Amino acid sequence: MHILLTGGTGFIGSHTAVDLMEHGHEVVLYDNLCNSSEDVVEAIEKITGRRPAFVRGDIRDKALLADTMRRYGIEAVVHFAGLKAVGESCAKPLEYYDNNVNGTLIVLDAMRETGVKRIIFSSSATVYGTPQKLPLTEDHPVGTGITNPYGRTKGMIEEILADCCRADDKLTAICLRYFNPIGAHASGLIGENPNGIPNNLLPYVARVASGKLACIQVFGNDYDTVDGTGVRDYIHVVDLARGHTAALEKSTVVSGWHAVNLGTGRGSSVLEIIHAFEKACGHTLAYKIVDRRPGDVAACWADPKKALEFLGWKAELTLEEMCSSAWRYECLHKDAEAS
């Protein structure tokens, strides 16, 4: 299959490109590089032995997008491109609605113009808001209770995709609701490299381990969880990537709108993550307990049954592999990171 990956040089896009290429698909990475680097193209070539096509462009540039779809004979789109920082989305909501929601409208319009009928969308467990029950199943209420503009863009895009599927019975849209992707490719050549001080737990822990940051702040230890710290469903990004390959294959035999959780079904606390990372890097990590972070939920993990039934996919890699691969990536890239 010829597949366009919007946001293809990003963290999840680059790992998905590798998995798709290893399954014999042809990929085109389409990215404006606002949160990634073109060096990723070379890293993917080193891993797979083939250089993926790369187009530097913005998803809001419809002419370039449609031209790229025609030029490469695109048959499906995996739509990763978007802004994803929760705090920033509260300060700059218009930028988030423009980039994420308006950007998706333009991707769909270019698909309509060029006759592309399949889209896999990067959604998030954030669409569930505060969980009413655990584990989270796909029929849990969505939309109400989302606490920030970033999360709302994901909820809105899911609804837009559902409306487009209602209007065109040949269209397939699979919304993959990611839980907490972490880790890196086993080669250490691609991984997660956020600019500035990381907001998310794993990249922060990795930088404390490499000595670039001094101490992990644990946001609260008075939640009703195993040790009082927040519990999340961390999933290896390589497993997550495989979920996209499975969804693309499924999209050739189903039409309509579908939502599927990509998680492991297991929760880990912040302290469990810190201790797993200590094992991976071979030394203890400094941490201190601070106040809860506003907007955080106590616990969140997936029911992954539908992914197995619908996609024939399940997560296989362990927390140890998530931490050891993230550490390998950190060691290989510590000098290259933005401060």
Counting contacts by CB under 6 A, is residue 285 touching ligand UD1?
Answer: no
Between helix 319-333 and helix 201-209 the angle, nearest 10°, is: 60
Distance CA 66, CA 70 (A): 6
Chain residue whose CB lies nearest ligand UD1: 230
Q: What's the DSSP call for residue 221?
A: S
Distance CA 113, CA 65 (A): 10
Q: Which is nearer to ligand NAD, 164 or 176 (CB)?
A: 176
The contact mask relative to ligand UD1 for 28-67 (x = CB under 6 A, - = no) is ----------------------------------------
Q: Which is nearer to ligand UD1, 3 or 240 (CB)?
A: 240
Residue 86 interaction partner, one of ligand UD1, ligand NAD, none, beta carbon < 5-8 Å per kind: ligand UD1
Q: Which is it for strands 118-124 and 76-79: parallel, antiparallel or unpaired? A: parallel
Distance CA 72, CA 212 (A): 42
The contact mask relative to ligand UD1 for 220-249 (x = CB under 6 A, - = no) is ----------x-x-----------------
Q: Answer yes or no: 150 catalytic.
A: yes
Distance CA 191, CA 205 (A): 14
Q: Which is nearer to ligand NAD, 10 or 267 (CB)?
A: 10
- Reading the block at residue 39, the tokens are 């060096």
Query: How far, in Å, are 119, 125, 242, 304 from residue 311 at the CA level?
Result: 15, 18, 10, 11
Q: Which is it for strands 234-236 and 287-290: parallel, antiparallel or unpaired? A: unpaired
Counting contacts by CB under 6 A, is residue 180 touching ligand UD1?
Answer: yes
The piece of 97-105, 217-225, 245-253, 257-265 that touches ligand UD1 (CB under 6 A) is 217-225
Counting contacts by CB under 6 A, is residue 217 touching ligand UD1?
Answer: yes
Residue 324 interaction partner, one of ligand UD1, ligand NAD, none, beta carbon < 5-8 Å per kind: none
- DSSP notation for 165-183: HHH-TT-EEEEEEE-EEE-
Q: Which is nearer to ligand NAD, 99 or 269 (CB)?
A: 99
Residue 32 interaction partner, one of ligand UD1, ligand NAD, none, beta carbon < 5-8 Å per kind: ligand NAD
Cβ pair 107, 79 in contact under 8 A = yes
Write out the residues near ligand NAD by the rule CB under 6 A.
6-7, 9-13, 31-36, 58-60, 80-84, 99, 103, 122, 124, 178, 180-181
Q: Which is nearer to ligand UD1, 249 or 296 (CB)?
A: 296
Q: Which is nearer to ligand UD1, 67 or 296 (CB)?
A: 296
- DSSP notation for 200-249: SHHHHHHHHHTTSSS-EEEE-S-SSSSSSS-EE-EEEHHHHHHHHHHHHH
If one counts every other C-beta atom within 10 angstroms of the C-beta of residue 147, the result is 16
Cis peptide before 194 (omega within 30 of 0): no
Active-site position among 30, 96, 150, 178: 150
List the catalytic residues: 150
Contact residues: ligand UD1, CB under 6 A: 84, 86, 124, 126, 151, 180, 199-201, 204, 217-219, 230, 232, 270, 293, 295-296
